[in-house]
Amino acid sequence: KKICSSKMPFDAWNTFIIIIIKCLNYSIVLLICYTIYGYNYISYIGIKWYKSFMSQLVKIFKHIGQYACILTNIHQRLHMAKQYSNMSNSNNNPKDPFNFEEWLVGLVDGDGTFNVYVYPDKNKGTFTFKISLSKYNAQMLYYIKTKLGVGSVTITSNNSLDKNMITFRIRNTKHLKDIIFPIFDKYPLLTIKRYKYLIFKECVLLSLNSTLTQEEKYRQIRQIYKNKQSEDYISDAWKGLTIEDLNKDKTLVKNIMSKAWLAGFIDAEGCFTYVKKDSTRITHCFAITQKYDQIVLYGIKYLLKINANVIWNKKGFYSLNTTNSRNVEYIIDFFTYNDYFSLFKGVKSFEFTIWRRSYNKHKGDYKKLEQISIWINTIRNKHKY
| Average pLDDT of the residues in 191-196 | 96
Q: Would you place residue 63 in the very low, low, confident or very high pLDDT band (cuts 50, 70, 90)?
A: very low
Q: Would you place residue 120 in the very low, low, confident or very high pLDDT band (cuts 50, 70, 90)?
A: confident
Together in a domain, 259 and 373: yes
Phi/psi for 103 (5° steps) reads -60, -45
Contact status, residue 294 vs residue 310, Cβ threshold 8 Å? yes
Contact status, residue 372 vs residue 275, Cβ threshold 8 Å? no
How many domains, in total, are found in the chain? 3
CATH number of the domain where residue 226 is located: 3.10.28.10
Is residue 87 assigned to a domain? no
Q: Among 71, 88, 119, give the residue marking a domain's end.
A: 71
Is residue 91 assigned to a domain? no
Is residue 86 assigned to a domain? no
Cα 359–chain centre separation: 19
Together in a domain, 300 and 199: no
- How far the first Cα of the chain sits from its last, in Å, is 53
Quote the CA–CA distance of 55 and 37 in Å, as a whole number: 25
Q: What is the percent of the chain with per-residue pLDDT over 70, rounded to a whole number?
A: 73
Together in a domain, 210 and 138: yes
Together in a domain, 299 and 248: yes
Together in a domain, 166 and 220: yes
Together in a domain, 220 and 259: no
Q: Would you place residue 225 in the very low, low, confident or very high pLDDT band (cuts 50, 70, 90)?
A: confident
The residues, any chain, with a CB within 8 Å of residue 217's CB and separated by 6 or more, are 123, 206, 207, 209
pTM for this one? 0.75
Quote the CA–CA distance of 222 and 120 in Å, as a whole number: 10
Domain housing 111: 100-187+193-230
Quote the CA–CA distance of 269 and 266 in Å, as a whole number: 5
> Which pLDDT belongs to residue 212?
95
Q: What is the pLDDT of residues 163-190, one digit of tens each?
A: 789 999 999 999 999 999 999 999 999 9
Q: Would you place residue 36 in the very low, low, confident or very high pLDDT band (cuts 50, 70, 90)?
A: very low
Q: What is the pLDDT of residues 133-165, one digit of tens each?
A: 998 899 999 999 999 999 999 998 776 667 789
Is residue 90 assigned to a domain? no
Q: Is the pLDDT of residue 248 over 90?
A: yes
Q: Would you place residue 83 in the very low, low, confident or very high pLDDT band (cuts 50, 70, 90)?
A: very low
Q: Among 171, 206, 230, give the residue marking a domain's end.
A: 230
